[in-house]
Amino acid sequence: MNLSLTVRAAIVSIALLAAFLAVWHVATSGIGPVAQMDPEYAKLMGATATQGKSAMPGPGAVIGKIWSHLVNPFYDNGPNDKGVGIQLAYSLARVLFGYFLAVAVAIPVGFLIGMSPLMSKALDPFIQVLKPISPLAWMPLALYTIKDSSISSIFVIFICSVWPMLINTAFGVASVRREWLNVARTLEVSPVRRAFTIILPAAAPTILTGMRISIGIAWLVIVAAEMLVGGTGIGYFVWNEWNNLSITNVITAILLIGVVGMALDLILARLTHAVTYPE
Amino acid sequence: MSERFISLEAIARRYPAPGGGTTTVFENLWFSMGRGEFVCFIGHSGCGKTTVLNILAGLDSPSEGGVLVDGREIGGPALDRAVIFQSHALLPWRTVIGNVSYAVTSRHRAWTRIEVREHAQKFIDLVGLSGAEHKRPSELSGGMKQRVGIARALSIEPKIMLMDEPFSALDALTRGTLQDEVRRICQETGQTVFMITHDVDEAIYLADKIVLMTNGPDAKIAEIVLNPLPKDRRRNDIHRHPAFYPVRNHLIDFLVSRSRTFNDEIRAGRAWDPRHPPEVRPGETSAPVLVASRTAGAA
């Protein structure tokens, strides 16, 4: 076989997917024990008891559900029945708002830490203590002080995405090659111009790597945060559908969260690639 | 020497030693050179030649003493002194012309984009890189990278070029070609050059004066060798000149043994004044003689 690695990998991927779907289909297609019961009672019990069917939906049901969401993603039938597109848009808006707030803080502060050994040492204990705190632990404090659930979840996104960017920016700035800084010194380049023309491009790959880690964490955290604060968003959607016992919708949402997370990561990967320079 | 275009006056450099106290790389070091001269510092690693260059560049400051360039004491790095780094130090995210233009815009802040481009292009052509303007440093060979470094240094039209073993990372063939180019450019433009090397042949081919430094710590300028070869020397027949081997042997003798034992020579009564190290011109007579010793005693 002279197929390229990509083609062969694609064949294996498709085979694995097909095997998974087949196992899933068989496992959920009604082979459990059937209890004999009064027809009136059977109506209350549902398909699991009467036909031995699993409560877990099969792949067909989930694919159908995904299709129905995709053809009509933006309907709005009131607070508890919004299209999955609207819910994702809410989550994305919160993530991006909190994330860009974190960029606006982390990159300048990271520059300061990276350029000043004094600030690096002085701020290090705070960063080391604050960094390992689960972002959700801030939620009660945020709700108490901000008194708005939506802004609180934005704050939680901010606090979880600020650390990787801060640390990577500081590291990238501190490890700019000495000789490049010397070039700027011998050319009498002003500090501001040096920051933008030498340090920023030199540290950009490291900074972007931090931003890529942060967007991943932010997207993980938003789901949990929205489960807590409720109202809107894909996290709330998952929790609401769990309360509705709609496992089909829960699985659909899980897949969509994965796809959106992948898209966010891909965008940052592209940006990182664009600023990376070969040496 | 009548003109002191560049003058190192009683400079010293000390570092804190690991076990307390200080290590003196060199102290009471005096040296001056004239406009348009090509000077090579030669010595073993650790003798402080790079420290001298960094002090001259303003990247390092002397613990004592001062440096005058064109009559003024220097206070740090400046555009009148261009450095060509051993590791070329090109900015890898910029193209060839981008790297040169960066220096040109730093020199001429008011220039328009087109003026900067034209000026940069002139120096890229000068070092023979026409056609490679839009390549990135990672796409260039070692020799081409160093050419960009030379073009960048020349483009700011400095009073002096400081070269820190610029060709030591290159293969012999490329090194030869680049030496020819540097020699041609310096002769055309009358550029003043201060270069560090430990390649004896490179020093003889390029320099007007070769400064011999003893081993550190506490390194000294032992002698200044005035190159006896004619100004119009050419690489292919330089070794046929009667003065070539005397001067080469003198340098090699120094590097092999005298750089180590020079302090013993002084202790044994050799006259040596740090303010006026003896100037020698090997090859003029059968043995190296002092021609310009300004010291009171005889050698």
A83-101 pLDDT tens trace? 899 999 999 999 999 999 9
Q: Are residues B50 and B165 in the same domain?
A: yes
Q: Are residues B139 and B166 in the same domain?
A: no
- Give the end of a domain, one of B135, B157, B179: B157
Q: What is the pLDDT of residue A22?
A: 94
The most distant pair of C-alpha atoms in chain B lies apart, rounded to whole Å, by 64
* Residue B122 lies inside a defined structural domain of this protein: yes
* Residue A21 lies inside a defined structural domain of this protein: no
Put simply, whether A137 touches B (Cβ < 8 Å) is no
* Residue B9 lies inside a defined structural domain of this protein: yes
B194: Cα within 13 Å, side-chain hemisphere: 27
* Residue A237 lies inside a defined structural domain of this protein: yes
* Residue A47 lies inside a defined structural domain of this protein: no
Q: What is the pLDDT of residue B8?
A: 92
**Residue B106 to residue A182, Cβ atoms within 8 A:** no
Strand blocks (E) in A29-169 = none
Q: Which of B173, B234, B166, B181 is nearest to B205 (CA)?
A: B234
State both tokens at B103: 């220096």
Prior bond to B217 cis, omega within 30? Answer: yes
- Residue ranges of chain B with per-residue pLDDT less than 50: 1-2, 286-289, 291-299
* Residue A215 lies inside a defined structural domain of this protein: yes
Optimal mutation site among A177, A178, A183, A198, interface B, most CBs of chain B within 10 A? A183
Give the gap in angstroms from C-alpha A8 to the nearest C-alpha of chain B. 33
Q: Are residues B18 and B110 in the same domain?
A: no
Whether A254 shows a pLDDT value over 50: the answer reads: yes
Q: Which residues contact residue B235 at a Cβ distance below 8 angstroms, ignoring those fewer than 6 apart?
A: B176, B179, B180, B205
Q: Are residues B101 and B68 in the same domain?
A: no
* Residue B31 lies inside a defined structural domain of this protein: yes
Q: What are the angstrom distances between the C-alpha of B38 and each of A51, B6, B177, B223, B231?
A: 98, 12, 18, 16, 11
The minimal CB distance from A201 to the residues B57, B58, B93 is found for: B93
Chain B residue numbers touching A187 (CB-CB < 8 A): 77, 79, 102-103, 106-107, 156
* Residue A239 lies inside a defined structural domain of this protein: yes
The minimal CB distance from B89 to the residues A182, A188, A189 is found for: A182
Instruction: Report, as an integer, the average pLDDT of A232-254.
Output: 92
Instruction: Please say whether the beta carbons of B140 and B132 come within 8 A.
Output: yes
Q: Are residues B110 and B39 in the same domain?
A: no
Optimal mutation site among B91, B109, B135, interface A, most CBs of chain A within 10 A? B91
Tally of domains in chain A: 1
The minimal CB distance from B92 to the residues A182, A188, A278 is found for: A278
Q: Are residues B7 and B92 in the same domain?
A: no
* Structural domain harbouring A261: 84-275
Q: Can you tell me the distance from the alpha carbon of B12 to that of B21, in angstroms, rounded to the nearest whole number?
A: 16
Q: Are residues B206 and B112 in the same domain?
A: no
Q: Can you tell me the distance from the alpha carbon of B298 to that of B17, in angstroms, rounded to the nearest whole number?
A: 37
* Residue A140 lies inside a defined structural domain of this protein: yes
Return the CATH number at A92: 1.10.3720.10
**Residue A182 to residue B59, Cβ atoms within 8 A:** yes
Q: What is the pLDDT of residue A52?
A: 65
* Residue A107 lies inside a defined structural domain of this protein: yes
B84-121 pLDDT tens trace? 988 889 999 999 999 999 999 999 999 999 999 999 99
* Residue A60 lies inside a defined structural domain of this protein: no
* Residue B8 lies inside a defined structural domain of this protein: yes
Tally of domains in chain B: 2
Q: Are residues B62 and B98 in the same domain?
A: no
Return the CATH number at B4: 3.40.50.300
pTM, two decimal places: 0.85
Q: Are residues B89 and B69 in the same domain?
A: no
Put simply, whether A62 touches B (Cβ < 8 Å) is no
Instruction: Please say whether the beta carbons of A183 and A177 come within 8 A.
Output: no
A176-229 pLDDT tens trace? 999 999 999 999 999 999 999 999 999 999 999 999 999 999 999 999 999 998
* Structural domain harbouring B90: 81-157
Chain A residue numbers touching B156 (CB-CB < 8 A): 187
Instruction: Please say whether the beta carbons of B163 and B195 come within 8 A.
Output: yes
